[in-house]
């Protein structure tokens, strides 16, 4: 997974802050995260990252996903109970 990248388009209709991608790592037996940050309402944002940028642990101080297979991806964010984020055009490249 050395050169694998995520290319996703995110679009929130409302406020979405502290947006993160969580990816389960079988190798590390932990959730790994990539912090995207805040998104502007109604605007599409392309998000790309490499597996080496995704780190285990809450503080992202653990090992990376380098050499691990992607098991699942979850998108988390802070916002009101009615806020949503459109997760579109997902592409995983190796």
Please write the tens of the pLDDT for every residue from 14-50: 778 888 999 999 888 899 999 998 888 888 888 888 8
Please write the tens of the pLDDT for every residue from 59-83: 999 999 888 887 788 888 888 888 8
Q: SS in 3 state form for the chain? A: CCCCEEEEEEECCCCEEEEEEEEEECCCCEEEEEEEEEECCCCCEEEEEEHHHCEECCCCCCCECCCCCCCCEEEEEECCCCCCCEEEEEEEEC
Q: Has residue 55 got a pLDDT over 90?
A: yes
Q: Has residue 1 got a pLDDT over 50?
A: no
């Amino acid at each position: 997974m050395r050169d694998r990248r995520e290319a996703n388009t995110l679009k929130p209709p409302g406020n979405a802050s502290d947006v993160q991608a969580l990816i389960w790592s079988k190798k590390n037996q932990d959730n790994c995260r990539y912090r995207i940050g805040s998104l502007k309402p109604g605007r599409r944002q392309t998000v790309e990252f490499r597996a080496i940028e995704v780190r285990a642990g809450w503080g992202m101080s653990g090992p990376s996903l380098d050499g691990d297979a992607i098991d699942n991806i979850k998108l988390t964010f802070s916002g009101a109970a009615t806020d949503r984020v459109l997760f579109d055009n997902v592409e995983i490249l190796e």
